[in-house]
Structure 1
């Protein structure tokens, strides 16, 4: 009784361990080829069946009588599956899937049957699309964008050195008919006279790509500098002319006043002389 209890306990623990591990996961790249591994008992007469388990079973690939049997293959997988036939007798029942689509995601079952018995293996397939980031400056905004991404991406900005202005960014995400995502974000460029690096990071699944744009500090156009110098020089000349005219006018006024004063003094002296003579 004790032995039976211990045996049942060990079996229960083994089942819990298997369940906790879950199905192994294979990550495939969108539009590329991918291999779903499956090991079976070596045999010269093996029956194989791969199924895609979604809302219902979809036949992915069948093999028996030493030949592919694709009469019941689901339309989604037509012309996209193959087995390594030379290795099946050695226990390799892996499936090669080409032109991976987003719809291929999900749980797969590899069923095998030989003279030793039957076996089932389950695999989770996940799809990721490679990220390519484009960053450019358009007028007074930095634009960062990426297309054909999966799964749904996120975009973040980083500025160095940090800007004192608030980041007025606008981000939009769209999904195509192929269930791929496109993301775009624009950031207002701060009007500063120093070098700044604008970096945007696009994250999707395990992938993360950063792109940067360097905004150089502003330097005035040499022609504008020359024009400003000439204008300043002409302005100073004009100021000197005006000051000269004013000084000349003041001097003339002072001289005229001095002349009038001298004339008045002379007239006064002559008047005094006449009075003395007459007396």
Structure 2
């Protein structure tokens, strides 16, 4: 028969697991961007510094539905003034923050179709933060929050020389790690150099040696926000490459950390009961 301490422990474990599952479910629903009237396909985007970026926000529409009397206001937390405002069929930016003058705009021709996304030109580090897309139209109103994160990332270029394969990437921030992988998935030793070209922004050169002249190697460049998977295929004296980027989902990681913390708590409880 189980002791009182064991009964208490297993009860607490069950409650913690259920509570953890509820937390993960709440986070998943939050990340889905699903709101009754205003939605976003990506509420945790990563923008490439110096590039244009679109903060996605839209009104769900059926077929060729059009929206009437649409007013849109984009704001940013802890910022005086608005990022962008649209009313009565035109922009209305009398109180626009100077940081966004000439850099923020809507796709005005698409507003009547429910596309109220914000285009940010030449993204800066200061642009990161939490934005709110607020919309009023003839059928109701709603808003959605979007947390923009900024990074610098470029696809590497590859060259062959002296029996080695060299990858160069001109701009990465935050500071990246570089890992070379064999076609079978094994990690390969390489020589990597990072040069800080500006505050927290790095140029990297990484050389893998020796290599076979008929293999595909993967150069993985990653930091806490972005991962580049660059597959370089060597054929004789030529190399061809293809790169894909993936981005940190953030909130799922937070959920995982919460579950880990719960497990640690369970272990501590067991230790105390013993």
Q: TM-score, normalised by structure 1?
A: 0.51
For 1:38-53, list aligned pairs within 5 A: 38-39=58-59, 42-44=67-69, 46-53=70-77
Q: Which residue matches 1:201? A: 219
Cα deviation for residue 79 of structure 1 reads 1.5
For 1:56-95, list aligned pairs within 5 A: 56=79, 59-89=82-112, 91-95=114-118
Name the one with the larger helix percent: 1
Q: Deviations over 1:95-142 (max 9, x none)?
A: 233334454343220123457664221123355666432333555765
For structure 1, which segment, 109-118 or 58-67, has the greater mean C-alpha deviation from structure 2 after superposition? 109-118
Within 2, Cα distance between the matches of 1:182 and 1:56? 32
Q: Over aligned residues, Cα RMSD in angstroms?
A: 4.5
Cα deviation for residue 159 of structure 1 reads 5.5
Is 1:22 aligned to 2:22, yes or no? no
Is 1:122 aligned to 2:156, yes or no? no
Q: 1:74 to 1:197 in 2, by over 3 A?
A: same
Q: Which residue matches 1:104? A: 127
Cα deviation for residue 173 of structure 1 reads 3.2
Unaligned runs of 5+ in 2: 1-21, 34-41, 61-65, 238-274
Q: How many residues align?
A: 196
Q: Which residue matches 1:225? A: none
Within 1, Cα distance between the matches of 2:183 and 2:115? 53
Q: Secondary structure at the match of 1:73?
A: coil
Is 1:170 aligned to 2:191, yes or no? yes
Within 2, Cα distance between the matches of 1:197 and 1:33? 36
Cα deviation for residue 50 of structure 1 reads 0.3
Q: TM-score, normalised by structure 2?
A: 0.52
Q: Which residue matches 2:57? A: 37
Unaligned runs of 5+ in 1: 1-13, 162-166, 217-279
Cα deviation for residue 92 of structure 1 reads 3.8
Cα deviation for residue 156 of structure 1 reads 1.7
Within 1, Cα distance between the matches of 2:95 and 2:23? 34
Q: Deviations over 1:167-221 (max 9, x none)?
A: 763323345447544222234549xxx86858351334253112255789xxxxx
Q: Which has the larger radius of gyration?
A: 1
- Which structure has more relative contact order (CA 8 Å, sep 6+)? It is 2
Q: 1:141 to 1:68 in 2, by over 3 A?
A: same
Q: 1:111 to 1:138 in 2, by over 3 A?
A: same
